[in-house]
Each structure stands twice: as C-alpha cells, then as structure tokens.
Amino acid sequence: MSHIESVLHENRSFPPSSEFTAQANVSGIAAYQALTTKAATDYEGYWADLARQHISWETPFTRILDETNAPFYRWFDDGYLNVSYNCIDRHLPAKADKTALIFEADDGLVTRISYQQLHDRVCAFANALIAQGVTKGDRVVIYMPMSAEAVIAMQACARIGAIHSVVFGGFSAKSLHERIVDAQAKLVITADAGMRGGRATSLKSAVDEALTLGGTECISRVIVYQRTGQEVNWHESRDLWWHDSVADMPNTCEPARMNAEDPLFILYTSGSTGTPKGVQHSSAGYLLGAIVTMNMVFDAKADTDVFWCTADVGWITGHTYVTYGPLAMGMTQVIFEGVPTYPDAGRFWKMIQDHRVTTFYTAPTAIRSLIKLGGELPRQYDLSSLRLLGSVGEPINPEAWMWYHQEVGQSRCPIVDTWWQTETGSNMIAPLPGAVATKPGSCTLPIPGIIADVVDEHGASLPFGQGGYLVITRPFPSLLRTLWNNPERYKKSYFPEELGGKVYLAGDSAQRDTDGYYWIMGRIDDVLNVSGHRLGTMEIESALVSHPLVAEAAIVGKPHDIKGEAIVAFVVLKGERPQGAAAKEISDTLRNWVGQEIGAIAKPDEIRFGDNLPKTRSGKIMRRLLRALAKGETITQDVSTLENPAILDQLK
C-alpha cells in the first residue's frame, strides 16, 4: 500500500477541546461556516472587511479586487500603507516596552529586543540604506544567518520601500550570484559568518565569490554584519560594516508611503525548469494574508502568546511567520540561530520551557529527526506553556503527527497542519484549531476566503475520493502577483490555458475524503521536497551536466525516513562507467560539485552510474522507471517502448 493510500485509511479524528474552543478567535464549527458562507456570498466584501479591520492604512482603499488584467490581479489598489509601520510603529503607543524578539544564539546566549528598540534599530538601518543610495523599488539581497539583524534588514527595506530578496544562507555563491543578477540588486546585506551547531559557516566569502562572477555591476555596496568576528576579505571601496553603517544614523525614519500593490519582496523558489522563479509579493495583500492566518490558524493572542516559528528567514515560512506575521500582531516571538540537535536533541524542548513558548511551528522533517534522536526527551522538560502546535513543508506522516500530539502537545494542544506555498504567501488549507477537528496527515479544510478545488486535466471539479490537481479558483490577497522579470512564465506556470487560464494551479496533487478533508499527495511537476525544501530536478541535473566529466544526468526522488524525499542521481559519464572505488570517488566529487553549484541541500544522497539512461526510441528519459529503480522495486512496468532495456540491470 502506498503512503497516500495508507493515510487515506486514517480515521482518527481529534475535535477541538471545549477549553480551546471557548477561548478561540474562531470558536466552533458554526463560526467557521459563517465565515466561509460570508466569503462565498460576498467574496470581495469579506476580504475588504478584514483589510479594514486588520491593516492600518495611510490612505484607505475604495477599490477591492481588480480582475480586468487577469491573471495579474490587483487588490485594494488605491490604498496606501507601510508594512513596517504596521509591524512596529502602530504598537508603540500601547507596548513600546513589550518584548518583540527573543533571540537565542547557537551557544544559548539570549537577547531581548523591545518594540521600541526594534523601531529604533529598524529606523537607524533604514537610514543607513538611504545613505547608501537605496530608494523605493530598488532590490536589496539579504544573505544572512538567522538573527535579529536579518529581521531588522527586511523591516528596514519595507520601511523605505526597497524590495528585499532574501537568499537562504545555505545556498552557494553560484546560486546567490544567479539571484543577484536576475533581481539586478543594488546592495547585498550579509554577515561575516553564521553559527550553527557550534560551527561557523562563512557567508561573506560566498558574497565575494558571487560578485566576481559576471553581471554584478549593479551591486554598489555590501553591508556586513559582524557575527563571529572571524577574518574576512575586505574590499575598501565596496564593503561596509553594519555597525559603521548605523553609527551616526538617527533612530527615526519616516515610513515610505507605499501603494497596496507595490512589491514588498521577491523570493526565489524552484520550478520545473533549471532557473529559479522570482516569486513577487505585494504589500497590502501579502500583509493581510499573514495577519488573517495569524489570527485564524495560529489563534494569536497578542498579549499572552509567545510565538515560535523555527523556519529560517531564507524561506517563505520565515518571511510570513517570523518577520511579518508575529510583528504585525504585536506579539512576542522567539528567533533561533542554531539547529534542533545542538547541543542535543532536547534543544527545542528546552527553549520552549525557558521562553514559555505557547505556539510552536515547525516542519515534519525536524519532528522525525527528533523522534529518532530522542523520542523520550520532551518529557524531561516543562512544556506546559504550549497551547498550539503547527506543521508545515510537506505532508506529515500520521506516526509523526501522533508523537507530536502526545509527546510535545501532551494530548492537549491542537495541531495545525498548514498547506501553502512560497507563491500563496500565507496558509491556504489548514484547520482553524478551535473549530475544525483534525486528522493525522490531513491539512483539513480551506481557510475561510480561500476557494480550493480538486480538478481533472480539463479543469473539471472531481468528486470526493478522487485524486487530481489542487487548484484555488478565486484570486486571494496574498497570492503572488507575478514572477520577477517573467510575466509569461507566471501565466504559464500558474494559470495554464488547459484549465481555463483563471484558476491558480498549485502544482500539487490532492484528494478529498468523504468529509471534504484535503490530503496532499505530492507534486505534479519535477520538483522534489527534501526536508521541506523545494528543489527542481532540472536544477540539479543542470548542475551535474555542467561538470566536465558528466555527459548526462537524471534526478529522481525516493522516500526517505527523515528528509521525506532523498535525491537519487543517475549519471552517464563522458568516459567509461566507473566501478568500485573509482565510482565512490567520482560520486564524492560530483556531490561536492552540486553543493558548490546550488548548495548543500541539493547534494544527491546517492549516485548511480550507467553507460546510458533508459530512453524511449524518441530519446525521452523514462523517469518512472528510474523512480522504480531508485526505490529498489523490480520493474513490472511495460518496457517494450524502451530503446535499451538492458540498461535497467546496470542501474539497479
């Protein structure tokens, strides 16, 4: 029985407790239904009410949704606001001294930053950016470790209307270079290094390398936050220390007046072709998605919650549920520099205990690795502060869900399994924890205002029980607006003509059970999900074939206990097929090569060499056969269309 078949037989259901429901922002299933009904009958009114209620506008909007140039949708587009103002300034009258950020470093050192201090530091850094010539609409690349400074840098961009593009610190110089060039950024913000698990990893040196590769004349300045104090190469005319940049800067900076539709940021993500896609988000619609889901899904209580999302700000989860969502709510949140297993696998639980965390949001891959390394450890800590748990990044297997529920949530805390994507900006399908009963492995029901469906290849809605394409049929505020520099690719990737050109194609397959609950089955494109991170098979293939020894390569995923999916590479070399020690050596070389080309997360877990790849007579690589081989399955499929059936034995 496949994974998806087995989860579809999952019939445990966990209704919200009466205690949780009594205090919930959306309390009871009737309240959930009232919201979905309101959205169904007055879609624009539903979102407009929320936008008026939750966003502080500088100039209120009068227009709601503009679909005239579909699928380039616009929301609230005669309204003006500033996102940083909404995340910081508006809280100051009531809670200047409230802790905004609790930063815990890799070594355990804790720093607290109040809303007033955050304001002052964001303003000083915003002024530093202005002093370096950054103006509204300029792109700023942020390549930083998890730190208060990363959040400050993003907020400072938002404050002056610069468009940030955060590049995850685990990406290589090459990947960084590609993103700098595509965004035509003016400035890079980085750190000397980051600290994770007791080890420093250099970041500045990767920036140096990226800027020696062609096409980066756009960059006039590199601002470097000093984290470890290690030796760095210095380019006097280009590099500037963060602490010097803010030294004489005033602690106030007028928030720029931004149109609702002005881009807030670009975040690159993998697609089915070799080049990453620059997902572009708006200001107001994106902010609204963050706030509404903080309220409904995370049941945010601004005055009493301590929120902790473990995602790095290099991913969308870290944008929406670290930098923007919790701050827009005026909450206290924890930010963590390190890794869950250092100094031991009790780190998360100790931090929850120490900071009295109420709401904890992490990924199935982290949960699975912590079960493996210390399933009994949560019991050694006081986790009584927790009231709500979240999961994101991939489907959570029911066993991991049950452990999370029992051992971490002590059977008391609802689990919100949140399905969404870089492109959707905020949670789309997830239980409202005081209203919707949960089932292990299902992300349950769409959030009110999100109109989802499962359709066939012609766009026709499928009945419950049938698997198909997951789509969202109405544009919603936090949806990406376009792909940076590539509106055609935006249309083709997300609004394909085959489905009528108007519904958002998520790229996942899904199935609904008899209760209408959504079960995500996996990607429909050539995208892998490794430890909750998206990687395009084409990207890894391009990296491999760019190595002088490699003639041809094909990448497939195979199930992995901890990572969800492991990367298996089938490689044909230009010379002889290597065997034994030679194969091992070339394998290591190629793995490191991919690490340098893309980043360590993209290194194949396994490389198999062949004289050729299984191809049809027309020369198409038969990936389904490769997937079966990777899993170690015996090939029972029809191989009669195969040009070279003998190759299968070699690749086993």
Site for ligand WT7 in 271-300 (CB under 6 A): none
Alpha-carbon span 412 to 592, nearest angstrom: 45
Cβ atoms of 347 and 360 within 8 Å: the answer is: no
Nearer to ligand WT7, 351 or 392 (CB): 392
Provide the H-helix boundaries in 9-147: 18-23, 29-41, 43-54, 83-87, 92-95, 115-131
Least CB distance to ligand WT7 at residue 417 (A): 5
Alpha-carbon span 505 to 496, nearest angstrom: 8
Alpha-carbon span 630 to 578, nearest angstrom: 19
Nearer to ligand WT7, 289 or 393 (CB): 393
Site for ligand WT7 in 594-633 (CB under 6 A): none
Among 99, 332, 421, 478, the residue binding ligand WT7 under the rule CB under 6 A is 421
Nearer to ligand WT7, 314 or 338 (CB): 314
Cβ atoms of 327 and 158 within 8 Å: the answer is: no
Is 550 annotated to bind a ligand? Reply is: yes
CA distances from 432 to 300, 438, 444 (A): 11, 9, 9
Our finding on whether 260 is near ligand WT7 (CB under 6 A) is no
Q: Is 12 left (phi over 0), alpha (psi -120 to 50) or beta?
A: beta
From 18-26, 87-95, 323-331, 411-419, span contacting ligand WT7 (CB under 6 A): 411-419
Least CB distance to ligand WT7 at residue 17 (A): 22
Nearer to ligand WT7, 4 or 572 (CB): 4
Nearer to ligand WT7, 353 or 421 (CB): 421
Phi, psi of 498 (to 5 degrees): -55, -30
Least CB distance to ligand WT7 at residue 407 (A): 20
The label of the residue with tokens 């430890």 reads 531
Nearer to ligand WT7, 61 or 419 (CB): 419
Least CB distance to ligand WT7 at residue 58 (A): 30
Cβ atoms of 552 and 624 within 8 Å: the answer is: no
Is 216 annotated to bind a ligand? Reply is: no
Alpha-carbon span 596 to 9, nearest angstrom: 43
Our finding on whether 419 is near ligand WT7 (CB under 6 A) is yes
Our finding on whether 523 is near ligand WT7 (CB under 6 A) is yes
Our finding on whether 415 is near ligand WT7 (CB under 6 A) is no
Least CB distance to ligand WT7 at residue 562 (A): 16
Our finding on whether 418 is near ligand WT7 (CB under 6 A) is yes
Our finding on whether 519 is near ligand WT7 (CB under 6 A) is no
> DSSP letters of 618-648?
T--B-HHHHHHHHTT----S--TTBS-TTHH
Nearer to ligand WT7, 127 or 424 (CB): 424
Our finding on whether 508 is near ligand WT7 (CB under 6 A) is yes
Our finding on whether 393 is near ligand WT7 (CB under 6 A) is yes
Cβ atoms of 632 and 568 within 8 Å: the answer is: no
Residue facing ligand WT7 at closest CB distance:
422
Is 531 annotated to bind a ligand? Reply is: yes
Least CB distance to ligand WT7 at residue 316 (A): 5
CA distances from 369 to 70, 146, 557, 564, 642 (A): 43, 21, 19, 11, 40
User: With contacts defined by CB under 6 A, how many residues of the chain interact with ligand WT7?
Assistant: 22
Nearer to ligand WT7, 12 or 620 (CB): 12
Among 128, 443, 499, 629, the residue binding ligand WT7 under the rule CB under 6 A is 443
Phi, psi of 644 (to 5 degrees): -135, 65
Alpha-carbon span 91 to 521, nearest angstrom: 41
Least CB distance to ligand WT7 at residue 638 (A): 29
Alpha-carbon span 312 to 314, nearest angstrom: 5
Nearer to ligand WT7, 202 or 269 (CB): 269
Our finding on whether 395 is near ligand WT7 (CB under 6 A) is yes
Is 417 annotated to bind a ligand? Reply is: yes
From 142-150, 502-510, 565-573, 576-584, span contacting ligand WT7 (CB under 6 A): 502-510
Cβ atoms of 571 and 651 within 8 Å: the answer is: no
Among 194, 340, 346, 507, the residue binding ligand WT7 under the rule CB under 6 A is 507
Least CB distance to ligand WT7 at residue 644 (A): 33
Strand order in the sheet with 221-225: 239-241, 221-225, 187-191, 139-143, 163-166, 263-269, 277-282, 482-483
Is 47 annotated to bind a ligand? Reply is: no
Is 52 annotated to bind a ligand? Reply is: no
Both tokens of residue 473?
A: 């049929």
Nearer to ligand WT7, 269 or 353 (CB): 269
From 91-99, 341-349, 391-399, 475-483, span contacting ligand WT7 (CB under 6 A): 391-399
The H or E element that residue 417 is part of is strand 415-418
Our finding on whether 324 is near ligand WT7 (CB under 6 A) is no
Q: Where are the beta strands (DSSP E) in 456-537?
A: 467-472, 482-483, 504-512, 518-523, 527-530, 533-536
Strand, helix or coil for residue 189 = strand
Least CB distance to ligand WT7 at residue 309 (A): 10
Residues listed for the chain? 652
From the list 335, 468, 471, 349, the residue with the least C-alpha distance to 410 is 349
From 24-32, 38-46, 332-340, 506-514, span contacting ligand WT7 (CB under 6 A): 506-514
**What residues make contact with ligand WT7 under the rule CB under 6 A?**
269, 316-317, 392-395, 417-422, 443, 506-508, 520, 523, 529, 532, 534
Binding positions for CoA are: 196-199, 317, 531
Binding positions for Mg(2+) are: 545, 547, 550
Binding positions for ATP are: 393-395, 417-422, 508, 523, 534
Binding positions are: 196-199, 317, 393-395, 417-422, 508, 523, 531, 534, 545, 547, 550
